[in-house]
Amino acid sequence: MAHGTAQGTGPSAARVTSRDVARSAGVSQATVSLVLGDKWRGRVSERTADAVRAAARELGYRPNLAARSLRLGRTRTVLLVVPALTNEFFAHVYTGAARVAADHGFGVVLYPSPEGVGPARDPFDSARASLDGVIASSMAADALAVVRGGGLPLVMLDSDPDDPATAATVNLDIGDGMRQAAEHLLGLGHRRIVHVAAAVDSWTFRVRARALAGAVRAVPGTVLHTERAALGVEEGRQAALRALTGPGPRPTALMCDDDILAAGACKAARRLGLRVPEDVSVTGVDDLALATAVEPELTTVTLPAQAVGAEGMRALMAVLDGEPAGDTTLPVELVVRDSSAPPPPGG
């Protein structure tokens, strides 16, 4: 109480340090550190410990993280790099990752790679926290270099497992998801399919294209075309429009690389006077809130986003503990809703 107490609103009020606590409790600063760091068992008397804790509470003591980090050489903070904040998928990844991190006493700092494309600005400069490790999710190829630069343990999510610079990867079996969707449509009788593909150069989209092509080719008499679109409703609409109005017989199914493109595809169909799913079937990937917000509700591949984040963080924690951490692949599942049906009789 001697000097301006702890919780002044202003920045001015001098911070309470462990020395203040020590003085107030009548012990040395080292003892404070021991007690509050929970390392006092059998080294400090119960009574002293209580006094320290009381004093700390009283003064509103908060350890200075910068000092601790400096001393320890570790920050207990990891960076999560995502291509976009606007996509729910990454919000869920964050949630899963943050939960596991918290269990280990770690914090997670989010770094949204600007615009999701192009080389990210240096996150090690922008996120001013010092970092113990990095998790990067679904990065486009050219945004990767920067993430790698830090020389920190790196776990990649939804990315090429063969990348040599990563300590571990956690992937979605997205290829299987595309296969499920394709087989669903093929089973319904569709033979002319257009892949409305994301115009993003990343592993996850390359896998989708490959799996889709494989599944469709396996059935004789099928035709697969591809239309590329940037990730957006309007872009999806335009790509679908091209697909539906191009030369030759009209496709009966549009398989979109994500739900946003699928929403655009539905709009394109509707504006052409086509009904979904009676005239055209549309499928997405992600199972965002959007998938059930639109009408008809989308048949889509649901992705365990939170599990991805959680597994990724577990892997990183293991790496930081010096344990090995291999590559994980999480299963995904098709959810059939109202945007897919057998092709029209003539189709």
Partner DNA sequence: TTGAAAGCGCTAACAC
Partner DNA sequence: GTGTTAGCGCTTTCAA
Q: Residues interacting with DNA, by CB under 7 A? A: 2, 4, 6-7, 15, 17-19, 26-34, 36-37, 39, 42-45, 47-49, 61, 63-64, 67-68, 70-73
Instruction: Give phi and psi for 199, each to the nearest 5.
Output: -85, 55
Residue 226's binding partner out of DNA, its own copies, none, with CB under 5 to 8 Å set by partner kind: none
Least distance to DNA, CB of residue 2, Å: 5
Least distance to DNA, CB of residue 127, Å: 17
Structure tokens at 119: 């080389």
Q: Which amino acid is at 257?
A: D
Q: Where are the alpha helices (DSSP H) in 189-293?
A: 203-217, 233-245, 259-271, 289-293
User: Per-residue x/- marks for its own copies, 267-306, CB under 8 A?
Assistant: x--x------------------xx-xxxx-----------
> Which is nearer to its own copies, 42 or 345 (by Cβ)?
42
Residues in the chain: 347
> Which is nearer to DNA, 73 or 164 (by Cβ)?
73
> Which is nearer to DNA, 68 or 206 (by Cβ)?
68
Which is it for strands 333-335 and 299-302: parallel, antiparallel or unpaired?
antiparallel
Residue 74's binding partner out of its own copies, DNA, none, with CB under 5 to 8 Å set by partner kind: its own copies
76: left (phi over 0), alpha (psi -120 to 50) or beta: left
Residue 302's binding partner out of DNA, its own copies, none, with CB under 5 to 8 Å set by partner kind: none
SS3 329: strand
Residue 292's binding partner out of DNA, its own copies, none, with CB under 5 to 8 Å set by partner kind: its own copies
Residue 159's binding partner out of DNA, its own copies, none, with CB under 5 to 8 Å set by partner kind: none
Least distance to its own copies, CB of residue 263, Å: 4
Least distance to DNA, CB of residue 62, Å: 7
**Should residue 36 be labelled a site residue for its own copies when binding is judged by CB under 8 A?**
no
Give the contacts of 276 (CB within 8 A, at least 6 positions apart).
266, 269, 270, 282, 296, 339
Selection from 158, 140, 160 nearest residue 92 by Cα: 158
Q: Which amino acid is at 253?
A: A
Q: Where are the alpha helices (DSSP H) in 140-255?
A: 144-148, 174-188, 203-217, 233-245
Least distance to its own copies, CB of residue 320, Å: 6
> Which is nearer to DNA, 45 or 86 (by Cβ)?
45
> Which is nearer to DNA, 67 or 145 (by Cβ)?
67
Q: Which amino acid is at 241?
A: L
**Should residue 84 be labelled a site residue for its own copies when binding is judged by CB under 8 A?**
yes
Which strands make up the sheet holding 299-302, listed edge to edge? Answer: 223-229, 192-198, 253-256, 281-286, 299-302, 333-335
Q: Where are the alpha helices (DSSP H) in the chain?
A: 18-25, 29-36, 46-59, 65-72, 88-103, 123-126, 144-148, 174-188, 203-217, 233-245, 259-271, 289-293, 305-320
Give the contacts of 293 (CB within 8 A, at least 6 positions apart).
none
Residue 251's binding partner out of its own copies, DNA, none, with CB under 5 to 8 Å set by partner kind: none
Residues lying near its own copies in the complex (CB under 8 A): 6-11, 13, 60, 62, 64-67, 69-70, 73-77, 84-86, 88, 90-92, 94-95, 98, 102, 106-107, 109-110, 112, 124, 126-130, 132, 149, 151-153, 165, 232-234, 260, 263-264, 266-267, 270, 289-290, 292-295, 320-322
